[in-house]
C-alpha cells in the first residue's frame, strides 16, 4: 500500500494533524521549532526537514495502544523537566532514525529520557548527547541500538533493560563516564562492533560499566568485536544464568587501558558454557565464580581467578601473570604463556581440584610455578609437554594441606622441560598413590625431583628422563615403591630413604666427584628400609681419587631396618670400587655380586647368626622388573610408532655420549672419529623424521653433539694438517645436523 503523505501546513499543530491522519500515513514537518505534547495511538511516520526541532520542555511524547511510530530527521531537545520521562512507550513500537537528541541535566534520580513497557524500541544512526539517563525498557519484545553516536555525561545509568526478548547493541560509538548498561532477565542479546570510551571524570568508587543480571533460555548470548578505551577502572559483570544448555560468548573484544588502569570481567553463577575467544584484555583480569563450564582461548589478559566452577579450560593465552583456581572439578590448561613477576604469589595456584591437566604451557615465576594444594580431593594431576624455567622456588609444588576424604591421588609428569629452577618437582603429599615422572628434561635445577612422602604414600616411578651435567639432585623420603629406570642422570645425585622397594635399573651415570663419607654428597645414596635392586646401569666411573687423594663413591648404601635384601647385577663400567666401600654405617657379613644376574644375594648384618645366606632364582626378580616396566607403558594408551622411533633416538644419543666420554682422552683419534661417526650417521637418519623429534629429544641431541664438537675441537692442536681435514669434515657434519 502506498503511504499517504500529509503536510503540517494544513494543520495548526502536530497533534491536530495526527488526530486527522489515517493509519500508516506520513507527516512532513517544516523547518521550525515545535513545542507541544504529542499523543499517538496509531501507526504513523513523522519526518522532519534539516532544521526541524521537537522541543519537549515540560512536554511529553506518549505512544500507546499498539501504535507503530517512526521518527526521522528530527532534532529533539529536552531541557530540565519535572517528569520522570519525556518519551513514554506502552505496548507499542517506536523507531527513531537519523535524528539528533540533546538532553540536559535532570533533577530526578530515576529520570530516563525514554521509558518503554512491553514495547519495541529502536534507535538507529542517531547523534545523542545526554546529561541524564537515556533509556529504561521493561518486558520489551525488541530493543535495538544500532549505528549511533552516543555521548552520555553525568548520568548514573545510561541504558537499563529488563525482561526483553531480543536485544541488539551494534556498531555504536559510545562515550560514557559512568555506568552504561544494565540488563536483567534477558533471553537473546548481541552486543557487537561497538566502540566504548570511558573518560576519567567523574570518578566512581565501584563503577560497573556493564551489568548483565539473569541470562534466561534463548539462542544468542554474544558480546563480540567491541573496543573499550578506558581512562579509569573498567568492570563488566555477568551473573545469574540458570540455563545449563546456553553458550555465552565473549570474543574478539579489545581493552585499551591507560597506564596503571585495571579492568575486570566477572562471570558469576552461569550454569551453561562461558566461551571467551580472541580477546585482547590488556592488563585486565577474568573472574569465574560458581560457573558450569568456562573456556578461554587465544586471548591476552593478566590474571584469571575461579572459585567453585566445574570445568575450566584455558588454551593458547598470552601475557598471563597469575592463575588461581579453587574448589573446582576439572582444569585443563594448554599452550598458555604465564610469567609471574609478583613476589610471594604463585604463577598458577590450584586448590582442591579433582582433575588437573597442564599441557604445553610455558611457565616462569619469581616464586612458585605451579602449586597444587591437595585438600583430599585431588584424583588426577597430569603435566605434559610444559616448560618451566627460572622459577625462584618450586616449578611444580604438590602439597597436601589436609586429609579430609583420604582419597589417593595420582600424578603423571611427562615430556616437560625444567630449566634454571630452584626445585623442579617438589611433592610433599601423603595422599600420593601413584607418581610417574617420564621422559622429562632437567637442566640446571638445584633439585630435580623431591618427594617427601609418608606412611600413606604409594609408588614413585622415574623413567626415561634426561638430566644435564649440572649437579642436580633427586631425593625421595618414604614411599612404598621407588623405581628409577632408564634415565640419563649425567652427574646428578640420588638420595633415597625409607622406601619398601627400590629399583635402580638401566640408568646412565657420570660421577660428579663428591666426597666419600658424606652420604648426601654421593651420587647414589640409599638408606634402605626394604628391598634394593641395582641392575643394568652404565656408570662411567666408580670409586676414584682426585688430585688431593680424596675418595669418591658412586654408590653408598646404609640401612635403618634389619634384613634388607640387596641385589647388584649387570652394571657396566662400575670399576674401581671396593665391596666394603658400598656401605657407610655397617659391614655386611657377606656380600656377593653376580654380574650374570643368576642369583639374588640377601644381605645379612654382622653378628646376625640366626639367618644364613639365602639364595633364590633370579628369574623371579627379572619377572618383577619386566612387569614393572610394562606397567609404565600400559598407561600410555596413545603409544604409536613415533614413540618407538623416539626411544631409538634416545638410545643412540646415550651410546654417543658414552663413546664421547670414553674416547675424549684417547690417543687414537682417528679410530675414535670412525667409531663415533657411525653413531652420528645413524642419528642423522632418525632425526630426518621430524614428527618424532620433540623439544626434549632436540635438547638432548643438541647437548650431546655440542659436547662432541668441543672434544673434536680440542684434538685440533694434537694432529697433523692432513688429519685436521678429516676432523673438520666431521665437525661440518655435526654443524649441519645441529
Q: Spell out the SS3 assignment of 107-146.
A: CCCCCCCEEEECCEEEEECCEEEECCCCEEEECCCEEEEE
**How many CA atoms are closer than 13 Å to the CA of 239, on its beta-carbon side?**
13
Confidence (pLDDT) at 285:
93
Q: Residue 409 — very low, low, confident or very high, per pLDDT cuts 50/70/90?
A: confident
Q: Minimum mean pLDDT among 157-161, 235-239, 424-428, 453-457: which range?
A: 453-457
* Contact (Cβ atoms closer than 8 angstroms) between residue 239 and residue 270: yes
Which three cell numbers mark 631? 606397567
Please tell me whether residue 270 adopts helix, strand or coil conformation: strand
| CA 407 to centroid of chain Cα atoms | 26
Confidence (pLDDT) at 274:
92
* Contact (Cβ atoms closer than 8 angstroms) between residue 491 and residue 512: yes
What percent of the chain clears pLDDT 70, i.e. is strictly above it? 67
Confidence (pLDDT) at 156:
82
Q: Residue 504 — very low, low, confident or very high, per pLDDT cuts 50/70/90?
A: confident
Domain definitions of the chain by residue range: 491-637, 641-737
Confidence (pLDDT) at 144:
95
Angle (CA) 620 625 628, round 5°: 125
Looking at per-residue pLDDT, the higher value among 383 and 597 belongs to 383
Q: How many CB atoms lie within 10 A of CB 223?
A: 24
Q: How far apart are CA 192 and CA 173, in angstroms?
A: 11
pLDDT at 496 over 80: yes
Confidence (pLDDT) at 514:
42
Most confident of 176-180, 540-544, 662-666: 176-180
Confidence (pLDDT) at 195:
95
Confidence (pLDDT) at 204:
64
Confidence (pLDDT) at 555:
60
Q: Minimum mean pLDDT among 251-255, 323-327, 520-524: which range?
A: 520-524
Which pTM does this prediction carry? 0.76
* DSSP string covering 356-416: EEEES-EEEESS-SEEEEESS---EEEEES-EEE--SSEEEEEEE---SS---EEEEEES-
pLDDT at 485 over 60: yes
Look at the alpha carbons of 360, 361, 362, 363 in this order and tell me if their dihedral is positive or negative: negative
- Total number of residues shown for the chain: 738
Please name every residue paired with 174 in a beta bridge, in sequence order, or none if there are none: 150, 196
Confidence (pLDDT) at 687:
54
- Tens of pLDDT, residues 522-575: 445 666 556 777 777 776 544 434 444 444 445 666 654 545 567 777 666 544
Average pLDDT over residues 674-681: 61
Confidence (pLDDT) at 313:
95
Looking at per-residue pLDDT, the higher value among 599 and 145 belongs to 145
Q: How far apart are CA 361 and CA 350, in angstroms?
A: 15
In angstroms, what CA-CA distances link 518 with 125, 448, 705? 83, 20, 34
Q: Residue 499 — very low, low, confident or very high, per pLDDT cuts 50/70/90?
A: confident
- Cβ contacts of 365 within 8 Å, gap of 6 or more: 338, 339, 340, 346, 347, 390, 391, 392, 393
Three-class HEC string of 571-600:
CECCCCCCHHHHECCCCECCCCCCCCCCEE
Amino acid at each position: 500500500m502506498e503511504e499517504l503523505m500529509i503536510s503540517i501546513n494544513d494543520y495548526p499543530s502536530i497533534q491536530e494533524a495526527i488526530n486527522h491522519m489515517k493509519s500508516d500515513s506520513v507527516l512532513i514537518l517544516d523547518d521550525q521549532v515545535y513545542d507541544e505534547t504529542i499523543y499517538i495511538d496509531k501507526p504513523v511516520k513523522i519526518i522532519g526537514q534539516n532544521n526541524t526541532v521537537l522541543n519537549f520542555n515540560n512536554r511529553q511524547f506518549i505512544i500507546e495502544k499498539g501504535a507503530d511510530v517512526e521518527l526521522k530527521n528530527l532534532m529533539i531537545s529536552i531541557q530540565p523537566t519535572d517528569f520522570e520521562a519525556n518519551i513514554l512507550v506502552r505496548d507499542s513500537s517506536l523507531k527513531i532514525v537519523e535524528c539528533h537528541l540533546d538532553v540536559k541535566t535532570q533533577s530526578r534520580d530515576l529520570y530516563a529520557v525514554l521509558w518503554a513497557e512491553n514495547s519495541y524500541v529502536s534507535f538507529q544512526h542517531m547523534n545523542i548527547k545526554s546529561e541524564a539517563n537515556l533509556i529504561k525498557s521493561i518486558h520489551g519484545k525488541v530493543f535495538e541500538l544500532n549505528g549511533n553516536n552516543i555521548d552520555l555525561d553525568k548520568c548514573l545509568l545510561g541504558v537499563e533493560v529488563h525482561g526483553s526478548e531480543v536485544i541488539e547493541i551494534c556498531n555504536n560509538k559510545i562515550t560514557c563516564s559512568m555506568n552504561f548498561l544494565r540488563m536483567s532477565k534477558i533471553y537473546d542479546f548481541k552486543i557487537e562492533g561497538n566502540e566504548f570510551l570511558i573518560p576519567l571524570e567523574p570518578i566512581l568508587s565501584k563503577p560497573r560499566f556493564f551489568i548483565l543480571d539473569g541470562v534466561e533460555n534463548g539462542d544468542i548470548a554474544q558480546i563480540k568485536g567491541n573496543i573499550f578505551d578506558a581512562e579509569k577502572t573498567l568492570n563488566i559483570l555477568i551473573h545469574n544464568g540458570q540455563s545449563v544448555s546456553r553458550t555465552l560468548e565473549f570474543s574478539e573484544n579489545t581493552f585499551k587501558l591507560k597506564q596503571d588502569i585495571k579492568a575486570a570481567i566477572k562471570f558469576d553463577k552461569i550454569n551453561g558454557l562461558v566461551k571467551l575467544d580472541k580477546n585482547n584484555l590488556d592488563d585486565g583480569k577474568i573472574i569465574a565464580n560458581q560457573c558450569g563450564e568456562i573456556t578461554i582461548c587465544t586471548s591476552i589478559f593478566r590474571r584469571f581467578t575461579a572459585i567453585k566452577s566445574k570445568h575450566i579450560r584455558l588454551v593458547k593465552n598470552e601475557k598471563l601473570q597469575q592463575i588461581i583456581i579453587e574448589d573446582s572439578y576439572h582444569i585443563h590448561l594448554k599452550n598458555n604463556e604465564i610469567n609471574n613477576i609478583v613476589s610471594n604469589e604463585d604463577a598458577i595456584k590450584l586448590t582442591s581440584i579433582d582433575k588437573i591437566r597442564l599441557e604445553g604451557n610455558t611457565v616462569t615465576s619469581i616464586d612458585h610455578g605451579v602449586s597444587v594444594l591437595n585438600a583430599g580431593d585431588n584424583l588426577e594431576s597430569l603435566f605434559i609437554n610444559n616448560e618451566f624455567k627460572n622459577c625462584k622456588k618450586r616449578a611444580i609444588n604438590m602439597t597436601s594441606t589436609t586429609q579430609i576424604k583420604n582419597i589417593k591421588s595420582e600424578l603423571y609428569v611427562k615430556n616437560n622441560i625444567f630449566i634454571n629452577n630452584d626445585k623442579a618437582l617438589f611433592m610433599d603429599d601423603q595422599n600420593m598413590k601413584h607418581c610417574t615422572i617420564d621422559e622429562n628434561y632437567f637442566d640446571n635445577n638445584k633439585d630435580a625431583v623431591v618427594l617427601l612422602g609418608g606412611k600413606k604414600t604409594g609408588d614413585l616411578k622415574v623413567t626415561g628422563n634426561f638430566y644435564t651435567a649440572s649437579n642436580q639432585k633427586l631425593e625421595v623420603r618414604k614411599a612404598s615403591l621407588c623405581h628409577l629406570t632408564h634415565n640419563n642422570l649425567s652427574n646428578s645425585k640420588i638420595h633415597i630413604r625409607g622406601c619398601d622397594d627400590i629399583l635402580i635399573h638401566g640408568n646412565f651415570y657420570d660421577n660428579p666427584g663428591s666426597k666419600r663419607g658424606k652420604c648426601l654428597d654421593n651420587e647414589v645414596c640409599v638408606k634402605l628400609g626394604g628391598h634394593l635392586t641395582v641392575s643394568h646401569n652404565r656408570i662411567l666411573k666408580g670409586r676414584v681419587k682426585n688430585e688431593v687423594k680424596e675418595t669418591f663413591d658412586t654408590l653408598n648404601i646404609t640401612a635403618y631396618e634389619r634384613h634388607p635384601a640387596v641385589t647388584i647385577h649387570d652394571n657396566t663400567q662400575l670399576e674401581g670400587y671396593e665391596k666394603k666401600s658400598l656401605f657407610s654405617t655397617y659391614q655386611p657379613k657377606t656380600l656377593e655380586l653376580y654380574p650374570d644376574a643368576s642369583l639374588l644375594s640377601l644381605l645379612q648384618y654382622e653378628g646376625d647368626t640366626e639367618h644364613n645366606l639365602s639364595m633364590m632364582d633370579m628369574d623371579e626378580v627379572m619377572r618383577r622388573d619386566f612387569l614393572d616396566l610394562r606397567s609404565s607403558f600400559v598407561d600410555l594408551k596413545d603409544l604409536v610408532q613415533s614413540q618407538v622411533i623416539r626411544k631409538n633416538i634416545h638410545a643412540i644419543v646415550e651410546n654417543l655420549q658414552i663413546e664421547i666420554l670414553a674416547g675424549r682422552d684417547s690417543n687414537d683419534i682417528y679410530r675414535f672419529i670412525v667409531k663415533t661417526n657411525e653413531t652420528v650417521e645413524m642419528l642423522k637418519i632418525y632425526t630426518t623424521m621430524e614428527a618424532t623429534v620433540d623439544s626434549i629429544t632436540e635438547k638432548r641431541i643438541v647437548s650431546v653433539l655440542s659436547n662432541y664438537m668441543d672434544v673434536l675441537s680440542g684434538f685440533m692442536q694434537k694432529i697433523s694438517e692432513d688429519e685436521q681435514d678429516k676432523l673438520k669434515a666431521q665437525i661440518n657434519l655435526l654443524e649441519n645436523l645441529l
